[in-house]
Structure 1
Amino acid sequence: MKPIRILTSVLDLLAEIDDYESLLFTRRWHEVGEFELRINRHKRHAELLRRGNLIMLGASRNKVGIIKHREITLDEGGKASETWLVKGIALKGIVAQRLVVPPAGDSHDRANGTAETIMKHYVNNHVVNPTDVKRKIDMLVLASDQQRGSQISWESRFKNLAEELVEISKASGLGWDVILDFQQKKWIFDVYEGRNLTVNQTENPPVIFSPQFESLKQLSFVESDYNYKNYGYIAGQGEGEDRRVVEIGDAEGLSRIETFIDARDISEEDENQQALPEAEIIAKLQQRGQQKLAKFAQEFFLEGQILTNSPFEYEKDYNLGDIVTIQNREWGVTRDARITEIKEIYEPGGFQIEATFGESRPTLIKKLKQELAQISGEVRK
């Protein structure tokens, strides 16, 4: 079984275990991953799996979780059934403990620049070097800004920091993570770019996941227009007929599917409380519209179990965040998609990898959050 190191939050090693029932460790490119560990409570060092401690898979400094929950049951099986279920989140999820609080004298925390610069701006302002020192998490530091990603403009007001990073990540294609630095005894926040490993590029050796290439054991494919919208009415500030509304999209006739996007939280003033030019306000509303319409795109869900003895080696030939080609000739399906989620499954019977290519299927909670996001602007105003 894969060794698991148990650490304190300040990176002191408590123990290492390799005798447990199972481990499911989920890594995510845009969002926050999680883990589930099952271990008999009588096994060595099980008592150290306490809330607040960290687990690290082997020596992988980028596969770290913080324990948030544990539970146990006892039935007529007695001692043999006394198994702890230990759950937690990927370490990068600690940024979800903060909101984006606007600076004094301004309605929003605003940033302009590359996607990486903006992500690190918000982490710096609200975790690493916040104005209120009580909000600071001493263990977290920023990696240097390499200014990767597209140029964007962003503003936020009392939104969850992790959710904002997810939005910027999806808009730019960049990933983000928190890894360990044992030399500094710190947690390092950084941003990452995936590789293009698709079949039609020549810079890198291509990676094709296909049953025909004996690289996939299972594959599920879904395409759907149920949630599809392609034309938006984006409403900014104002009331009734005086409310500012801009439109985005070019679909017509039967192919046009309209939606309303509430963007009342977008300010029409700058940080000095001066009115912004109308063209700039419209551009901000259009950018918000593009971001929201992207969530209503035609849905393609690809999930598969990757053969561990496939021609491609995990973390060498491909990794989380890389763009690969997925193909099933019998279905007539060939798509290029980013690996956005990888589940590493460790059991006595062996090691398995399950991957999500592109967007993951929305859960009920995600759908509810999407609906609530439409009304949240008024709440935060």
Structure 2
Amino acid sequence: MELYIFNQDRELAGIVESFEYLRWTRRYSQCGSFELKATATPENTALLKEGNILWKSDDEEAGIIEHLELSQTDSETITASGRFATSFLARRIVWQTETLSGDLSACVEQLLNNNLISPSDPARQIPGISFSSPNLGIPISAQVSYRNLLDAVTEMCDTSSIGIKTVFAPATGIFTVTLYAGAVSQAVFSKEYENLTEQTYTESAADYANSALVGGEGEGAGRTFVAITGGSGESRREIFVDAKDLRSEDFGGDYTDALTFRGQSKLSELAIRYSFDASVNPHGNLIYKTDFDIGQTVKVVSKTWGVSMTTRIMEIEETYDADGQSVGVTFGKSELTIAQKIRSDMSQVKTALSASTGVSEVAEAIGDLTEVSPAIQGDTVADTINNLFGKLPALEVIVGAGTISAGQYALHNMAPGDSIYFTSWSGNKFSDQPSDDGHIFLVKHSGASTGNGYQRAMGFFISRNTMTFYVISVFLYNNPSGQANWLSFPLGALTDIAAAIRGSTFAASINNVYNAPVSGVRIADGAVTGAKIADRTITTAKIAAAFTDYSTTEQNTGRIWIDGRTIYRKVVNLGSLTNATPKSVAHGISNISTVTGLTGIATNGTFFLPLPLARYNNFASQIGLYADTTNVVVEPGNDRTAFTGFVILEYTKTI
């Protein structure tokens, strides 16, 4: 046996020369799997990559590496594991509703063609995969929607006792998905015949059911039902199969057959499980792949246990290690795993939720609205919730003239839409003193005056005494007669402020302080004021502007000329230049003191000329440039009408 590795292009990449062990598990109606452990040599590490293909030379099938693990104890090892190539089906779902009717092979071919081999969307195609199967004589009538493609196909195979495998052709790189019916073998396995070394027999009826009531479309008395019965009395075990997703319009006269097939599939899944796990004696009288193979029907006998069963080989696990090859065989169907049980139960939930008539099942989870208190009961769940909100306790508080508090005064002076929080409320006064009944948060109503001499605010109040939550409306008297004493106490009176800086309000007085000279005596133009400091301060913004900002509006560069005046900058658009005649353009700058810089450019889109332009050997092509207190003047020496000009002026101002 050789282990060949093919890359994802299905080209031979190399051979695994040595390995510690290989577990190769073949399954009849399900996808097989493998695990390979080898020394992490550079060669093995290069070959064993995710997505590469592992093919065993004495087998039809190949494995796809899906998981890698590197570990180090005494030596470095690499473990590669994955599933057989049938797992390509697991990469697709049944994209839309597929109505299946006919032989099992035709139905599986339909699913594969529409979702993997030749789907309508080319992006969903997996190239190099084909399907081949004889007519199996197993009729199918079913509907599949949005399920994992592998699960849908293997479930039908398992129910019908049909095998599935994906044969790999190394020469072409083609994978062929194949269905087959296992043959009948004359092999008899028994410890008494010394062809088994270990054996475990399992019989489980924990999930067993033999009768099913299948519910199709419709509601109540109008719903379609099909009964599949078996046994009576104590031996009868019943289940309900929800098949609302199957619609008669999709099956016509075969609708009953479709419901029956759904029920039979479920009963097959829940049949009594008989299984025999055994290790085959490699030196016994039966030779693997000659006398017995995967999917074949054989006889298993244990005289000691009194067991004799004719059953199918559902799984064969080949193990290769330092001791050689060993073969483990599973006869019959083993118990459902937890994952299989969950998947089965969830399929029933999905059926109820996806069915067009399955609303009642969802409503059961929400509950009956008639159980809700009549005080808040609405026509819908949403109405009921809204009614509950509407039943919250509410307060209306009238704050009249003469009942003045700090909170009331502040609320009166708020703009509509402003919000305010008070730490307490007592009677009809709002305070910032934490000594009364609760906490309140208010937003002033945008309508302000109610027209009756009051203003309105709305919000929430939490009573400290009763821990009650209220929605609150406050009507505030529109002309409070005064303000709380504490509001004027820390500020003092305006008459206490020095006359030199006193304004009509506290805010005006503060602004006067900000703009006043450093000393009490004003020092003419030499006074250091906040405005002057701000004008002369070289800020980050001004530094950035000095080096980066060019605008047709005046910019303060933050720099100072030799006479101490601020330097400004402005760009003047000259428009199109003239043909050997001067052109004057008003720069729009008032109070120019000194022009500290005058440069520019002229361009026709291809050439960029500096302004002014001087030429040592072609005086006629020169361009002159100057400015006065009103205009910028440009003087082309020849025809420059194809050029547009811009001038950068830097200057100081008299004021």
For residues 379 and 23 of structure 1, the distance between their equivalents in structure 2, rounded to whole angstroms, comes to 44
The 5 Å alignment of 1:120-139 reads 120-139=109-128
In structure 2, the partner of 1:109 is 98
User: What is the aligned counterpart of 2:130 among 125, 141, 144?
Assistant: 141
Report the CA distance between 1:289 and its aligned residue. 0.7
Q: Deviations over 1:184-227 (max 9, x none)?
A: 33111111221111xxxxxxxx1001101111111111112221
For residues 235 and 8 of structure 1, the distance between their equivalents in structure 2, rounded to whole angstroms, comes to 49
For residues 291 and 35 of structure 2, the distance between their equivalents in structure 1, rounded to whole angstroms, comes to 27
One-letter amino acid of the structure 2 residue matched with residue 225 of structure 1: A
For residues 26 and 157 of structure 1, the distance between their equivalents in structure 2, rounded to whole angstroms, comes to 30
Structure 2 length as normaliser, TM-score?
Answer: 0.52
One-letter amino acid of the structure 1 residue matched with residue 79 of structure 2: L
One-letter amino acid of the structure 1 residue matched with residue 319 of structure 2: I
Q: Are residues 1:360 and 2:354 paired?
A: no
SS at match of 1:86: strand
In structure 1, the partner of 2:294 is 320
The total of aligned residue pairs comes to 355
In structure 2, the partner of 1:269 is 249
One-letter amino acid of the structure 2 residue matched with residue 228 of structure 1: Y
Structure 1 length as normaliser, TM-score?
Answer: 0.88
SS at match of 1:111: strand
User: What is the aligned counterpart of 1:159 among 147, 155, 164?
Assistant: 147
For residues 58 and 190 of structure 2, the distance between their equivalents in structure 1, rounded to whole angstroms, comes to 31
Contact 1:118/1:154, CA 8 A, preserved across alignment: no
One-letter amino acid of the structure 2 residue matched with residue 129 of structure 1: S
Report the CA distance between 1:112 and its aligned residue. 2.1
CA 1:10–1:257 in 2, change beyond 3 Å: closer, same or farther?
Answer: same
SS at match of 2:201: strand
In structure 2, the partner of 1:256 is 236
In structure 1, the partner of 2:160 is 172
Higher deviation after alignment, 134-143 or 174-183: 174-183
Q: Deviations over 1:1-44 (max 9, x none)?
A: x4211111332111111411111111111011111111121264
Q: Deviations over 1:49-77 (max 9, x none)?
A: 010000011243x2310000111233xx4
Report the CA distance between 1:241 and its aligned residue. 4.5
CA 1:63–1:43 in 2, change beyond 3 Å: closer, same or farther?
Answer: farther
SS at match of 2:119: coil
User: What is the aligned counterpart of 2:216 among 220, 236, 239?
Assistant: 236
Higher deviation after alignment, 15-24 or 34-43: 34-43
For residues 188 and 182 of structure 1, the distance between their equivalents in structure 2, rounded to whole angstroms, comes to 12
Contact 1:158/1:380, CA 8 A, preserved across alignment: no
One-letter amino acid of the structure 2 residue matched with residue 101 of structure 1: W
Q: Deviations over 1:300-349 (max 9, x none)?
A: 12111111122111111111111110111111101011111111101111
Contact 1:176/1:191, CA 8 A, preserved across alignment: yes
Q: Are residues 1:193 and 2:181 paired?
A: yes
CA 1:314–1:59 in 2, change beyond 3 Å: closer, same or farther?
Answer: closer
SS at match of 1:270: helix
In structure 2, the partner of 1:297 is 271
One-letter amino acid of the structure 2 residue matched with residue 287 of structure 1: F
Q: Are residues 1:245 and 2:196 paired?
A: no
One-letter amino acid of the structure 1 residue matched with residue 92 of structure 2: R
Q: Are residues 1:46 and 2:26 paired?
A: no
Contact 2:211/2:230, CA 8 A, preserved across alignment: yes
Contact 1:141/1:188, CA 8 A, preserved across alignment: yes
Q: Are residues 1:283 and 2:283 paired?
A: no
For residues 345 and 288 of structure 1, the distance between their equivalents in structure 2, rounded to whole angstroms, comes to 38
Report the CA distance between 1:295 and its aligned residue. 1.3
Unaligned runs of at least 5 residues, structure 2 = 356-655
CA 1:86–1:380 in 2, change beyond 3 Å: closer, same or farther?
Answer: farther
SS at match of 1:342: strand
CA 1:360–1:224 in 2, change beyond 3 Å: closer, same or farther?
Answer: closer
Higher deviation after alignment, 178-187 or 134-143: 178-187
One-letter amino acid of the structure 2 residue matched with residue 139 of structure 1: G
Contact 1:195/1:323, CA 8 A, preserved across alignment: yes
For residues 93 and 181 of structure 1, the distance between their equivalents in structure 2, rounded to whole angstroms, comes to 17
Contact 1:25/1:36, CA 8 A, preserved across alignment: yes
For residues 284 and 334 of structure 1, the distance between their equivalents in structure 2, rounded to whole angstroms, comes to 36
Structure 1 or 2, whichever has the larger Rg, is 2
Report the CA distance between 1:290 and its aligned residue. 1.1
Higher deviation after alignment, 93-102 or 320-329: 93-102
For residues 37 and 315 of structure 1, the distance between their equivalents in structure 2, rounded to whole angstroms, comes to 22
One-letter amino acid of the structure 2 residue matched with residue 376 of structure 1: K
One-letter amino acid of the structure 2 residue matched with residue 38 of structure 1: K
In structure 2, the partner of 1:94 is 88
SS at match of 1:188: strand
One-letter amino acid of the structure 1 residue matched with residue 64 of structure 2: I
One-letter amino acid of the structure 2 residue matched with residue 10 of structure 1: D
Contact 2:315/2:331, CA 8 A, preserved across alignment: yes
Report the CA distance between 1:240 and its aligned residue. 4.2
CA 1:68–1:239 in 2, change beyond 3 Å: closer, same or farther?
Answer: same
Taking CA–CA contacts closer than 8 Å with sequence separation of 6 or more, which of the two structures ends up with the larger relative contact order? 1
Contact 2:142/2:261, CA 8 A, preserved across alignment: no
In structure 2, the partner of 1:219 is 199
For residues 184 and 39 of structure 1, the distance between their equivalents in structure 2, rounded to whole angstroms, comes to 28
- State the identity %: 27
One-letter amino acid of the structure 1 residue matched with residue 157 of structure 2: S
SS at match of 1:207: strand
SS at match of 1:312: coil
CA 1:43–1:361 in 2, change beyond 3 Å: closer, same or farther?
Answer: farther
Unaligned runs of at least 5 residues, structure 1 = 103-107, 198-205
